[in-house]
């Protein structure tokens, strides 16, 4: 045999042997920190964390950690058959192969695209008593820095209490300890970008061991963290009065232990924001949307997510807290809010307006680039004499450039500052001392309940910022009084209910986002992922009345869901979803047919005869409201064309509420007898659309609206030799019609006449099988209503 073949054979054998060895090995292991240092910000003592954390850690016995390979493999573990020894575990975790990585990162396999993430894979473990993560499968991809996990340890049939120690990937984050109650645990896990191999150690004094030492039962899980940078962030801001002492309300004991200054406020607000994110990502996953979530703007700064970072000065990439100095004084801010809540106040004002102006000046948003901002007023103050919280308002909303949520700092003292303080803060039953701090809405009678109200109610307003209305249940209906249950395995005594908390917390007992909230999040710009397929730039929804009492609904991005509001219902209790859970927007229909009977069948019997309002949502994040669905199928929506054919009016854009607004309508010449050939469309416009003049062969013309704006208007001639026809219009519309673009059968588009950036975009093209017969609407000083008349 030639020598080069021998070499090749040897290499093949070597490769095979290496692969075999690897197989055996695998099978055996299985904010803006201000430079202003306030004297009250840091405690005068040497304590590194709050009193809540100290009292909690004093009760916990540290587990025996697996610091070396020797300690992991020595001795016998309970639960292993035949007294076998602990399986050897690699000191360094092996990275997944390129092939497996590519499969996990593929479009179909991303957890954001399906709900298979909720099905756990088998993780390597040292014994049958080792922790088992149930909420996320091994090798999953997530998109937030702090991940909530939950699972079981030991035998659920024989529940015991103990402790779970989370050892982070390459010790990049200090170990954290979490309670195990009746064999159930919940933990917050800090992740670094890329692959994270985590070790979970379970210990319990109730488990016997041969040598009398506390035995450690370990398992491993791999989580891949892919940070998001392609979607707009949620900005976090603290608003400070121009003469602020930069402190917030706190009891003397809290001030003594942890301070109450700006730097402490930043740490607490940042930790609360990561709790929002972990909660929301888990809720999205439970609703079948993967761990899709919004992101924060981060900066390289001294870490605060663990108190140990403060001791050593560790730098980390963490959420930036913008500190915005207001032009108002503390008194002006507190008197403004007091005027809204307390009759004797002499001045009146609007905290939301103050915050909005400050945020707009700080971020300077550009057209088409809205800023999403959640703010906290630092100078909120509990006025015991007046019995109200001053300098506080809980509001969320905004306009096209600023989406804003505001809240006060009156519950801030009860927030956790670090991950290690989350469980202590949410189980602290210390009664609220109303001599110093507020008992908000009489639902914050203890420290942990106050944390629920503050963190949860601020999340509620942030939900409004993202476009969520009030709902029949969930965060958007004060369900946040149970927010603590998301992060605990056992609940403490509640002063609100005057009852001992639940001993076992199941998902149905926890706080939740309503299903309709998660649907809104799925298509919100802040929740988009790099793997999401590109959609049409036109997110609008159009509604068309047609024959036989039917209504056609079209949307270029797909129709996601419909909400039904029978008369008397302010909240949505009934809805219809059109999403395919496996294909997402790609599987959503672009056109559907509705009838009044089919919609009313989704209502209870006692509401089927009431007036029905319908809201239709597209996958592009837009919606269309029909105030009275019966009107769409009535005679009002139908007309008889001059050539005898029936015509149908589409839904109308614009509010038709300008002074002197009058109806206007034009039927195109092609539907007259004899038919007329359309040669030119003359558009009258200025900063909005004034009118359209349809000019036919023989110099005959018809005017829709008025001849205003630019002198003589602008002409858009049609190429009649090629048979060019008007196929539709693209409109910019809000309260009135801002601008219009003409679309033709040859694919030509005119410029956008009028205000090309006003209002929102809407494409009016008749559904399949129909064509434009005319236009109708209303005209005041300029056009404030526009719709199409279509026919077969």
Helix/strand/coil (H/E/C) assignment for every residue in 413-443:
HHCCCCHHHHHHHCCCCCECCCCCCCCHHHC
Q: Please calculate the CA angle 713-719-722 and round it to the nearest 5 degrees.
A: 165
Scanning the structure block, which residue is given the tokens 């300029």? 782
Mean pLDDT of 564-579: 95
Q: Which CATH class is domain 541-632?
A: mainly beta
The pair phi, psi for residue 448, each rounded to 5°, is -70, -35
Higher pLDDT, 478 or 412: 412
Flag whether pLDDT at 116 surpasses 80.
no
Least confident piece of the model among 24-38, 215-229, 307-321, 768-782:
24-38
Strands 371-377 and 402-408: parallel
Flag whether pLDDT at 685 surpasses 90.
yes
Helix or strand or coil: residue 734? coil
Reported confidence tier of residue 501, pLDDT bands at 50, 70, 90 = confident
Mean pLDDT of 365-373: 91
Structure tokens given for 132:
């088992």
- Would you state the pLDDT for residue 189? 97
Mean pLDDT of 675-681: 93
Q: Do 469 and 476 contact (CB within 8 A), yes or no?
A: yes
Among the listed residues 316, 319, 308, the one whose alpha carbon sits nearest the alpha carbon of residue 144: 319
Mean pLDDT of 135-146: 95
| Tens digit of each residue's pLDDT (9 = 90 or more) over 188-219 | 999 999 999 999 999 998 887 677 778 899 99
Instruction: Round to whole Å and give the CA distance between 688 and 705.
Output: 12
| Chain centroid to CA 286 | 14
Flag whether pLDDT at 187 surpasses 90.
yes
Among the listed residues 350, 349, 393, the one whose alpha carbon sits nearest the alpha carbon of residue 375: 393
Contacts of the segment 361-366: beta carbons below 8 A, 24+ positions apart: 362/237, 362/322, 362/324, 363/235, 363/402, 365/401, 365/402
Would you tell me the crossing angle of helices 351-363 and 330-341 to the nearest 10 degrees?
Answer: 140
Flag whether pLDDT at 41 surpasses 50.
no
Q: What is the mean pLDDT of the chain?
A: 84
Strands 162-167 and 132-133: unpaired
Reported confidence tier of residue 39, pLDDT bands at 50, 70, 90 = very low
Q: Pseudo-torsion of CA 67, 218, 279, 529, nearest 10°? A: 80
Instruction: Round to whole Å and give the CA distance between 416 and 423.
Output: 8
- Would you state the pLDDT for residue 498? 87
Q: pTM, whole model, 2 decimals?
A: 0.81
Flag whether pLDDT at 94 surpasses 50.
no
- Would you state the pLDDT for residue 508? 87
What's 530's DSSP letter?
T
| Tens digit of each residue's pLDDT (9 = 90 or more) over 308-333 | 998 999 999 999 999 999 999 999 99
- Would you name the residues annotated as active-site residues? 461
Reported confidence tier of residue 368, pLDDT bands at 50, 70, 90 = confident
Flag whether pLDDT at 2 surpasses 60.
no
What's 556's DSSP letter?
T
- Would you state the pLDDT for residue 414? 96
Mean pLDDT of 725-743: 95
Strand order from edge to edge, sheet including 783-791: 638-640, 646-649, 783-791, 771-779, 662-667
What's 757's DSSP letter?
T
- Would you state the pLDDT for residue 124? 58
- Would you state the pLDDT for residue 221? 95
Flag whether pLDDT at 687 surpasses 90.
yes
Per-residue CA distances from 788 to 217, 620, 725, 726 (Å):
70, 22, 15, 12
CB neighbours of residue 765 within 10 Å: 19
HSE-up (13 A, CA, CB side) for residue 237: 26
Q: Do 124 and 167 contact (CB within 8 A), yes or no?
A: no
Flag whether pLDDT at 96 surpasses 70.
no
Scanning the structure block, which residue is given the tokens 């090309």? 756
Flag whether pLDDT at 181 surpasses 90.
yes
What is the SS3 assignment for 443-480?
CCCEHHHHHHHHHHHHHHHHHHHCCCCCCCCCHHHCHH
Fold agreement (541-632, 638-791): no
Reported confidence tier of residue 439, pLDDT bands at 50, 70, 90 = confident
CB neighbours of residue 396 within 10 Å: 22
Higher pLDDT, 792 or 599: 599
Instruction: Round to whole Å and give the CA distance between 537 and 302.
Output: 41
Instruction: Round to whole Å and give the CA distance between 474 and 573.
Output: 13
> Cis peptide before 674, with omega less than 30 degrees from 0?
yes
- Would you state the pLDDT for residue 29? 36
Flag whether pLDDT at 648 surpasses 80.
yes
Instruction: Round to whole Å and give the CA distance between 769 and 430.
Output: 69
- Would you state the pLDDT for residue 43? 44
Reported confidence tier of residue 70, pLDDT bands at 50, 70, 90 = very low
- Would you state the pLDDT for residue 74? 36
Reported confidence tier of residue 21, pLDDT bands at 50, 70, 90 = very low
Percent of the chain with pLDDT over 90: 65
Among the listed residues 363, 353, 350, the one whose alpha carbon sits nearest the alpha carbon of residue 401: 363
Percent of the chain with pLDDT over 70: 82
Flag whether pLDDT at 48 surpasses 60.
no
Question: Bridge-partner residues for 455, per DSSP?
Answer: none
- Would you state the pLDDT for residue 155? 77
Question: Bridge-partner residues for 553, per DSSP?
Answer: 543, 592
What's 690's DSSP letter?
E
- Would you state the pLDDT for residue 582? 74
Q: Do 150 and 187 contact (CB within 8 A), yes or no?
A: yes
What's 494's DSSP letter?
B
Mean pLDDT of 283-294: 94
Question: Bridge-partner residues for 288, per DSSP?
Answer: none
Reported confidence tier of residue 84, pLDDT bands at 50, 70, 90 = very low
Instruction: Round to whole Å and give the CA distance between 117 and 224.
Output: 12
- Would you state the pLDDT for residue 106? 32
Q: Do 453 and 440 contact (CB within 8 A), yes or no?
A: yes
Q: Which of the listed CATH numbers 2.60.40.10, 1.10.10.60, 3.30.70.2860, 3.30.70.100 matches domain 103-227? A: 2.60.40.10
Contacts of residue 435, defined as CB under 8 A and 6 or more positions apart, other chains included, come to 384
Reported confidence tier of residue 337, pLDDT bands at 50, 70, 90 = low
Strands 217-225 and 140-142: parallel
Helix or strand or coil: residue 378? coil
What is the SS3 assignment for 236-253?
EEEEECCCCCCECCCCHH
Flag whether pLDDT at 42 surpasses 60.
no
| 638-791 topology per CATH | Vitelline Membrane Outer Layer Protein I, subunit A (2.100.10)
Phi-psi region for residue 467, left (φ > 0), alpha (ψ -120 to 50) or beta?
Answer: left
- Would you state the pLDDT for residue 11? 41
Flag whether pLDDT at 100 surpasses 60.
no
Instruction: Round to whole Å and give the CA distance between 223 and 448.
Output: 30
Among the listed residues 550, 574, 549, the one whose alpha carbon sits nearest the alpha carbon of residue 562: 574
Flag whether pLDDT at 294 surpasses 70.
yes
Higher pLDDT, 566 or 631: 566
Instruction: Round to whole Å and give the CA distance between 175 and 156.
Output: 25
- Would you state the pLDDT for residue 89? 40
Q: Do 48 and 306 contact (CB within 8 A), yes or no?
A: no
Structure tokens given for 185:
């645990």
What's 122's DSSP letter?
P
> Could you state, in order of their start, the residue ranges of all structural domains in the chain?
103-227, 234-526, 541-632, 638-791
């Amino acid at each position: 045999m030639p020598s080069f073949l021998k070499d090749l054979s040897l290499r093949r054998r070597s490769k095979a042997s290496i692969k075999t060895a690897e197989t055996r090995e695998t099978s055996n292991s299985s904010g803006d920190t201000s430079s202003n240092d306030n004297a009250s910000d840091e405690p005068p003592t040497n304590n590194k964390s709050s009193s809540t954390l100290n009292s909690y850690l004093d009760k916990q016995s540290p587990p025996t950690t697996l610091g070396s390979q020797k300690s992991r493999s020595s001795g016998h573990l309970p639960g292993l058959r035949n007294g076998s020894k602990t399986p050897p575990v690699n000191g360094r975790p092996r990275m997944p192969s390129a092939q497996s990585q590519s499969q996990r990162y593929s479009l179909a396999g991303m957890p954001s695209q399906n709900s298979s993430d909720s099905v756990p894979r088998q993780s390597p473990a040292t014994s049958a008593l080792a922790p088992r993560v149930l909420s996320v499968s091994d090798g999953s991809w997530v998109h937030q820095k702090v991940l909530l996990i939950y699972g079981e340890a030991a035998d659920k049939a024989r529940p015991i209490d103990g402790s779970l120690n989370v050892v982070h990937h390459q010790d990049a984050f200090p170990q954290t300890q979490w309670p195990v109650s009746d064999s159930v645990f919940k933990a917050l896990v800090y992740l670094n970008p890329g692959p994270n191999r985590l070790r979970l150690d379970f210990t319990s004094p109730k488990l016997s061991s041969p040598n009398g030492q506390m035995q450690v039962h370990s398992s491993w899980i791999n989580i891949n963290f892919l940070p998001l940078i392609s979607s707009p962030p949620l900005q976090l801001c603290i608003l400070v009065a121009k003469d602020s002492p930069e402190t917030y309300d706190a009891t003397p004991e809290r001030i003594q232990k942890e301070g109450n200054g700006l730097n402490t406020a930043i740490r607490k607000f940042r930790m609360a924001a990561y709790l929002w994110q972990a909660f929301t990502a888990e809720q999205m996953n439970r609703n079948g949307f993967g761990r899709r979530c919004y992101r924060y703007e981060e900066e390289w700064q001294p870490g605060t997510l663990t108190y140990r970072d403060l001791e050593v000065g560790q730098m980390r990439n963490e959420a930036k807290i913008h500190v915005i100095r207001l032009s108002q004084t503390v008194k002006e801010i507190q008197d403004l809010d007091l005027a809204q809540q307390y009759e004797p106040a002499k001045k009146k004002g609007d905290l939301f307006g103050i915050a909005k102006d400050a945020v707009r000046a700080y971020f300077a948003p550009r057209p088409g680039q809205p800023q999403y901002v959640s703010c906290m007023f630092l100078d909120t103050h509990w006025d015991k004499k007046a019995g109200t919280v001053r300098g506080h308002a809980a509001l969320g909303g905004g306009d096209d450039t600023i989406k804003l949520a505001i809240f006060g700092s009156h519950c801030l003292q009860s927030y956790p500052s670090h991950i290690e303080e989350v469980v202590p803060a949410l189980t602290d039953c210390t009664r609220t001392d109303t001599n110093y701090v507020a008992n908000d809405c009489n639902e914050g009678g203890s420290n942990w309940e106050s944390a629920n109200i503050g963190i949860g109610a601020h999340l509620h307003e942030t939900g409004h910022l993202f476009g969520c209305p009030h709902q029949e249940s969930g965060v958007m209906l004060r369900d946040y009084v149970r927010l603590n249950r998301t992060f605990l395995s056992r609940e403490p005594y509640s002063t609100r209910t005057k009852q001992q908390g639940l001993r076992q917390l199941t998902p149905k007992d926890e706080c939740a986002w309503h299903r309709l909230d998660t649907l809104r999040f799925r298509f919100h710009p802040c929740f988009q992922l790099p793997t999401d397929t590109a959609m049409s730039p036109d997110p609008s929804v159009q509604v068309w009345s047609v024959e036989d009492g039917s209504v056609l609904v079209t949307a270029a991005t797909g129709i996601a869901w419909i909400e039904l509001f029978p008369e008397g219902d302010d909240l949505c209790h009934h809805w219809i979803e059109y999403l395919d859970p496996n294909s997402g927007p790609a599987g959503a229909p672009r056109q559907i047919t509705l009838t009044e009977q089919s919609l009313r069948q989704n209502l209870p019997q006692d509401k089927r005869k009431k007036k029905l309002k319908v809201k239709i949502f597209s996958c592009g994040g837009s919606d269309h409201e029909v105030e009275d669905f019966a009107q769409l199928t009535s005679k009002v929506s139908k007309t008889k064309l001059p050539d005898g054919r029936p015509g149908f009016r589409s839904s109308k854009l614009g509010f038709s509420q300008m002074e002197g607004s009058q109806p206007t309508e034009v039927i195109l010449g092609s539907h007259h007898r004899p038919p007329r050939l359309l040669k030119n469309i003359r558009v009258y416009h200025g900063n909005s659309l004034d009118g359209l003049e349809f000019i036919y062969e023989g110099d005959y013309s018809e005017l829709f609206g008025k001849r205003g704006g630019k002198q003589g208007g602008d002409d858009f001639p049609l190429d009649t030799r090629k048979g060019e026809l008007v196929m539709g219009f693209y409109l910019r519309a809000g309260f009135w019609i801002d601008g219009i673009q003409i679309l033709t059968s040859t694919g030509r588009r005119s410029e956008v006449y009028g205000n090309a950036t006003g209002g929102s975009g809407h494409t009016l093209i008749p559904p399949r099988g129909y064509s434009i017969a005319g236009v109708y609407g209303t005209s005041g000083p300029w056009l404030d209503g526009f719709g199409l008349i279509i026919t077969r």
